Amino acid sequence: MAAQDISSDYQKRDYSLVGFETQRAVERGLATAQWYQCPIGRKELKELMRRSDGPALRDTAIWFGALALSGLGGWYFWGTWACIPFFLVYGVLYGSASDSRWHECGHRTAFKTTWMNDVVYAIACFMILREPTVWRWSHTRHHTDTIIVGRDPEIAVPRPPDILGLVLNIFALKSAWSLAKKLTLHVQGRLDPEEATFIPEMERPKVFREARIMAAIFIGVAVWCIAIGSILPAMFIGLPSIYGGFMTIFFGLTQHAGLDEDVLDHRLNSRTVYMNPVFRFLYLNMNYHVEHHMFPMVPYHALPRLHEAIKDDCPTPYASCWAAYREIIPALLRQRREPGWYVKRQLPSHVAPLDVSAAGAVAAE
Amino acid sequence: MPTAIATRWVEACAADEIDEEDVIRFDEGGRTFAIYRSPDDVYFATDGLCTHEKVHLADGLVMDSIIECPKHNGRFDYKTGKAKGAPVCVDLKTYPVRVEDGKVLIGLD
Ligand code: FES
């Protein structure tokens, strides 16, 4: 395991966006701050940022094609054991591969054409149980203030880790419950106080409209199931987020879990993990997570090239998911007992992390 | 946001300093601007900072008539300053530009 630090004077942290840590992050210059970027020439970066529709059209066609084929098999063999492998594949494509699709299309980098990003974004958000406008804004904040306590709404594993919550999320149960609570609020035209800190006033009618559409679809599928006396429709729409969501957490935990908080350097709070081609297809290269956070304009298909360009300035990547989990699982268990403990990533010896005091933070919005 | 009415013209850069379909940063009198060269070789200028979180647009990507912000991929039409959707909600201010003797001049208010 990488080197570790323990802060002996650890105080319980408040991960909400409306608690004392929020103001503290602003005062410490951690909010809307300047982040470290590996040096890379403008010409090379421009080349890496270049957009095209081709790779995403191909990958989306494969994704929808595989969904259709596995769904057809599941439907054909419904009522027999043979349907299980088909629904397993369908579920993973629906409930897990959608995670990277909403993400890349949310950044509008997957396709060159804006409407293609927006259509796939809406579909993938529905599959992964995320409301499109809420998550667009939440993810915007995640990029402004990555793993800054009191500011980032997407810290997946606050310390001390909620192991039960993580286990429940293997079947998306915690996120489904959270969506149910939020949808109930949003269909009534209300936001929770934390969401109100990052969703601007003018975007809120869109949030409420989307919540009503989403709720109507779920209710429609439930009524359909009752009407025909079978859960088959829900096996295609809705339930796959639950029974096929396990790869979302498997991939997602590799991003930041167990690493440092409140640092202005993505090399210290994010992981780049080498994955096999199947995983990289499902995850659309989000395993190059340091690179993605540092240069979010680079589309997923160019991330391996970006990795090559900056890897000498980054910590050693993890050789596999197995290598990452050999670090993550013990780290989370230890953080249960010692919440101040974290995995400290080793930077190459010739570079130093950006000093918070020297970061030239600008005022929070 | 309206285009500035030029009361003075300031030399920003040499015309060939900007690649086609690219952008550079220009600072003047404590203000910062972004100067664009479109794919059809026309020059434009806007405020240099994104209206969302004040990031330099000159580090972004020019695609046709769009400038994409490097921080959260917010998009503006740099010819009109129009914000093209979340997370950018406020338009950019634009400035008149003319090219004389191989120099790009921007009209400031
Ligand atoms: S700072 Fe430009 S889109 Fe957020």
Round to the nearest angstrom and report the end-to-end CA distance of chain A.
38
* HEC assignment per residue over A35-48: CCCCCCCHHHHHHH
Least confident of A141-150, A343-352, B65-74: A343-352
- In the prediction, which pLDDT does A357 show? 44
Residue of chain B with shortest Cα separation from A203: B86
Could you list the residue range(s) of the whole structural domain that residue A35 is in? 3-343
Average pLDDT of adjacent 10-residue blocks, chain B of 109 residues: 79 96 96 97 98 97 96 97 95 96 95
Indicate whether A61 pLDDT > 50. Answer: yes
- In the prediction, which pLDDT does A138 show? 97
Is the Cβ of A305 closer than 8 Å to some Cβ of chain B? Answer: no
Residue type (1 letter), A63: W
Q: Smallest Cα–Cα separation from B73: which of A54, A104, A345?
A: A104
| Interface ipTM | 0.91
SS3 B45: strand
Domains along chain B with CATH numbers: 8-108 (2.102.10.10)
Q: How far is A338 from chain B (nearest CA, A)?
A: 34
Mutate to test the pocket of ligand 1, among B72, B78, B84 (most ligand atoms within 8 A of CB): B72
Rounded CA gap, B77 and B81, in Å?
A: 5
On the 0-12 / 13-18 / 19+ scale of CB atoms within 10 A, A6 is: exposed
Total domains in the fold of chain A:
1
Rounded CA gap, B88 and A360, in Å?
A: 23
Query: Which of A133, A140, A297 is closest, CB to CB, to B61?
Result: A297
pLDDT tens for A150-182 read: 999 999 999 999 999 999 999 999 989 999 999
pLDDT tens for A206-234 read: 999 999 999 999 999 999 999 999 999 99
Is the Cβ of A111 closer than 8 Å to some Cβ of chain B? Answer: no
Show Cβ contacts of residue A173 under 8 Å, excluding neighbours closer than 6 positions: A242
pLDDT tens for A311-326 read: 999 999 999 999 999 9
User: CB–CB of A255/A289 below 8 Å?
Assistant: yes
Residue A353 resides in a domain: no
- In the prediction, which pLDDT does B53 show? 96
- In the prediction, which pLDDT does B109 show? 84
In sequence order, which ranges of chain A are alpha helices (DSSP H)?
Answer: 20-27, 42-49, 54-76, 83-95, 97-106, 114-127, 132-144, 163-168, 173-187, 204-228, 232-236, 240-243, 246-256, 266-269, 277-283, 289-294, 303-310, 321-337
pLDDT band at A353 (very low <50, low <70, confident <90, very high): low
Residue A360 resides in a domain: no
